[in-house]
Amino acid sequence: MPDRAAFHRDGMRGGGLAVESVSFDRRGARGSVRVLDSVSFALEPARLLAIVGPSGAGKSTLLSLIAGFESPAAGAIRCNGDEWTTRAPSERSIGMSFDDAALHEHLTVAENLDSAAMPRNEPRERRASRVRALADSLGLAALVSRKPATLSAGERRRVAIGRAFIRSPELVLLDEPFANLDRANRFVVRQLVRELQRSTGAMAIVVTHDPTDALAIADDLLVLIAGKVRAHGAARDIAARPNDLEVAQLVDDLGMHVIECTGDGRAAGCAFKAAFMQHAQAAAGGAPLLLGIRPWHLRVGTPAAPSIAIEAKVLAHEPAGLFTDVIAARGDGRTLRARLHAAEAQELPTGEFARFHAHEADVHLFAGPWPGSRIG
């Protein structure tokens, strides 16, 4: 595979991708439905963007628009300064892997990889050498003569990802590249995607429903909800400080608990220090106050720092390796999940009430109504 420096020297990577106010309508028997609504974002050269969102948010449709398989109702798509909105897919420098790892079943692994490369009038041996090098980097060197039907799900996925990168495109689009893979294969494929993206210097967009996959590999994150961009920026920043509670639920595999406070600063089964609540209510500026707490920030025992307390009835224990998720019922009837060290969790009997706490510094503040808006 070409190295990143070579890509920058030939000037292909300057400019990045710009999606500007793109909308898309899906026509059906009952008329048109707006699937994407004024979607705008930019992707800088050599960066990897993960798109997350609930089912039906428009994630795969957005990839289809960028690839040229669909045409937007409004807006523009530009890559490295070139207008792509009206270009055919074959005129866009794109490599793509679909969520079903679509391969040519009648071709071998080597032939599948080679068939995805752009014609370059290269000698046959040079093309074969490129295929061998890529197959080796994908861990497929021993499988190049086999056909897809004889491959495991993880091996098929690796071939599909290799096809997306082999033509040295300006932009790689990967739709659910980790779907239906077991834990070990997910780790391997995630690493391969990141290594190929870094080594080639290509821009890449990965659609995934799993926030763990997204945060493991992404430089940037785009959160789509109901066809609109709800958040976009550096992945670590969005994960650390989600701008609303719906985004928070999507960027953490355990989600985020929500505590709705009354106007006088109370919440069923919860206890707050007066100074904390006064500060939080002042920050909300008279709007309903919503508190967000991640399950792994919940603790038991004596607090080591100023904290809020939550009393809940233990319903079940779910082992999670070195940790155990304690499932409990809060005073307002909502479920609470606390990820505790296994030894701590064992001390909380099922059917009994337990007192959990979260340090004030770990509590996220939002001004309501739902889904809220981050404050402070």
81 falls within a domain: yes
Percent over 90 (pLDDT), the chain: 84
One domain, residues 231 and 264: no
Range with lowest mean pLDDT among 31-35, 100-104, 116-120, 121-125 = 116-120
- For residue range 233-245, what is the model confidence (pLDDT) as tens digits? 999 999 999 999 9
pLDDT at 65 over 90: yes
Domain boundary among 244, 276, 305: 244
Q: Cα-Cα-Cα-Cα dihedral of 274, 280, 286, 288, to 10°? A: -100
199 falls within a domain: yes
Alpha-carbon gap, residue 24 to 36, rounded angstroms = 5
Q: What is the pLDDT of residue 128?
A: 85
Burial class (CB in 10 A: 0-12, 13-18, 19+), 352: exposed
Domain boundary among 212, 244, 276: 244
One domain, residues 293 and 352: yes
249 falls within a domain: no
- For residue range 337-364, what is the model confidence (pLDDT) as tens digits? 999 999 999 999 999 999 999 999 999 9
What residues make up the domain containing 367?
A: 254-374
Dig out the tokens for 211 from the structure: 């926030």
- For residue range 218-275, what is the model confidence (pLDDT) as tens digits? 999 999 999 999 999 999 999 999 999 999 999 998 999 999 999 888 999 999 999 9
Whether the Cβ atoms of residue 303 and residue 329 lie closer than 8 Å to each other:
no
The mean per-residue pLDDT over the stretch 183-205 comes to 94
272 falls within a domain: yes
* Residue 340, phi then psi, degrees to nearest 5: -120, 160
Residue 154 belongs to domain with CATH number: 3.40.50.300
One domain, residues 220 and 309: no
What average pLDDT does the structure give for the chain? 92
One domain, residues 223 and 281: no
One domain, residues 264 and 194: no
One domain, residues 214 and 266: no
Tally of CB atoms within 10 A around 182: 10
Domain boundary among 244, 275, 294: 244
Confidence bin at 29 (pLDDT 50/70/90) = confident
Cα atoms in the 13 Å half-sphere on the side-chain side of 184? 4
Q: How many domains does the chain have?
A: 2
The mean per-residue pLDDT over the stretch 14-27 comes to 92
One domain, residues 164 and 54: yes
Q: Looking at this protein, which amino acid is placed at residue 96?
A: M
Alpha-carbon gap, residue 203 to 373, rounded angstroms = 31
One domain, residues 36 and 166: yes
One domain, residues 226 and 272: no
pTM comes to 0.90
Residue 291 belongs to domain with CATH number: 2.40.50.140
One domain, residues 226 and 259: no
One domain, residues 240 and 104: yes
The mean per-residue pLDDT over the stretch 301-314 comes to 96
358 falls within a domain: yes
One domain, residues 211 and 261: no
In order of 5, 114, 255, the CA distances from 212 in angstroms are 30, 32, 11
Helix (H) or strand (E) holding 42: strand 31-43
